Amino acid sequence: MAKRDILSVADFTPGEIEQLVKQAVKSKKEAWPQVLAGKSIVLLFEKPSLRTRMSFELAVHQLGGYAMYMSPEEVGLGKRESVPDVAHVLSRYVQGIVARTFQHRTLETLAEFSSIPVINALSDYEHPCQALADLTTIYERKGKLKGLNLAFVGDGNNVANSLLLACSMVGINFLIASPQEYSLKDNILMIANKYAEKSGSQIMLLEEPAMAAKDADVIYTDVWTSMGQEEEYEQRCIAFAEYQVNDKLLAYAKKDALVMHPLPAHHGEEVAVGIVDRYRSVIFDQAENRLHFQRTLLAELYK
């Protein structure tokens, strides 16, 4: 059977996404299939992580497998050793690669030269496991996906790209408010627009946070400066100063709106101090659901 890589939300069909999300919720109360018994998965990380590393390691263990972590210092992807050589070597040892890389291209090269599945654990372009775990959280809370309004306030980054694709596939309306130069790029919009035509999802690019937040069922934000962009920190703080999720902005959303954040959060920057604490129930559900979604994904890939 051909190996299956998960580098993008678009590596799933909309039907598969709905099925995985529902199964992830169910899996909390079921016995987990031991599909990884006798199998090993490597976690190859070029950047730090709390949630992604912990939730993938636990998911592998819960399915009976062995997880091995390679830290940023050890890997030296493309420096100590070429990416194709690393892919070939790992294919001789383990049955899957979960990789967090600076460049999305590195993931594509790993996938091209390995004979085992490669899963994107975050790149500069996408964070698919985050977005799909977040759909799981939204589904649990709202009992549906189609027809909801999700307002993304802030940077058109990796998390925004994956959420855009996920929402456009399942019929969630995606409204993003960003400064123009930090908005979503045309290539990802083209893909999302095609899905949206079929699902009925509305996609809107806005500059005014209040316009995106109006009648939102979900207000979503992420850091203004992602890993790898640290040199731009000061310039980004200035550009995004008006894009903070705070009480003034939340007043535009529906009364029962969820406030979501993938974490880590910068309290006092993209979220006002106190917001994460007030909405901790949903925000920490997001973190927990990373585990349930990823275990469900691995169970499906290795069944």
The smaller minimum CB distance to ligand NVA, of residues 217 and 270, is found at 270
Closest-by-Cβ residue to ligand NVA is 226
Nearest distance from C-beta of residue 197 to ligand NVA, angstroms: 28
Q: Residue 292 gets which letter from DSSP? A: H
Q: How many residues does the structure list for the chain? A: 303
Q: Which stretch binds ligand CP (CB under 6 A): 16-24, 31-39, 48-56, 232-240?
A: 48-56
Of residues 99-138, those binding ligand CP (CB under 6 A): 122, 130
Q: Whole-angstrom Cα distance, residue 52 to residue 142?
A: 25
Nearest distance from C-beta of residue 287 to ligand NVA, angstroms: 10
The smaller minimum CB distance to ligand CP, of residues 51 and 295, is found at 51
Distance, C-alpha 116 to centroid of its chain:
22
Q: Does 117 bind ligand NVA (CB under 6 A)?
A: no
Q: Put the strands of the sheet holding 118-120 in their side by side order.
A: 66-70, 40-45, 96-100, 118-120
Residue from 262, 295, 297, 298 touching ligand CP (CB under 6 A): that is: 262
Place of tokens 């509305």: 202
Q: Does 222 bind ligand NVA (CB under 6 A)?
A: yes
Residue 50 touches which member of ligand CP, ligand NVA, none, C-beta under 5-8 Å by kind: ligand CP
Q: Does 49 bind ligand CP (CB under 6 A)?
A: yes
**Which helix (H) or strand (E) segment is 268 a member of?**
none
Residue 158 touches which member of ligand NVA, ligand CP, none, C-beta under 5-8 Å by kind: ligand NVA
Evaluate the omega torsion of the peptide bond into residue 264 and state whether it is cis, within 30 degrees of 0.
Answer: yes
Q: Does 262 bind ligand NVA (CB under 6 A)?
A: yes
Q: What is the CA radius of gyration of the chain?
A: 19
Q: Whole-angstrom Cα distance, residue 164 to residue 166?
A: 6
Q: Does 226 bind ligand NVA (CB under 6 A)?
A: yes
Name the amino acid, one letter, at 268: G
Residue 294 touches which member of ligand NVA, ligand CP, none, C-beta under 5-8 Å by kind: none
Cα torsion 277, 280, 281, 286 to 10°: value is: 180
The residue count for binding ligand CP (CB under 6 A) is: 8
Q: Does 159 bind ligand NVA (CB under 6 A)?
A: yes
Q: Whole-angstrom Cα distance, residue 188 to residue 213?
A: 22
Cβ neighbours for 92, distance < 8 A, ≥ 6 positions apart: none
The smaller minimum CB distance to ligand NVA, of residues 221 and 296, is found at 221
Helices and strands (DSSP H and E) totals, the chain:
13, 9
Q: Residue 27 gets which letter from DSSP? A: H
The smaller minimum CB distance to ligand NVA, of residues 27 and 52, is found at 52
Nearest distance from C-beta of residue 128 to ligand NVA, angstroms: 12
Contact footprint for ligand NVA (CB under 6 A): 122, 157-159, 222-223, 226-227, 262
Contact footprint for ligand CP (CB under 6 A): 49-52, 122, 130, 262-263
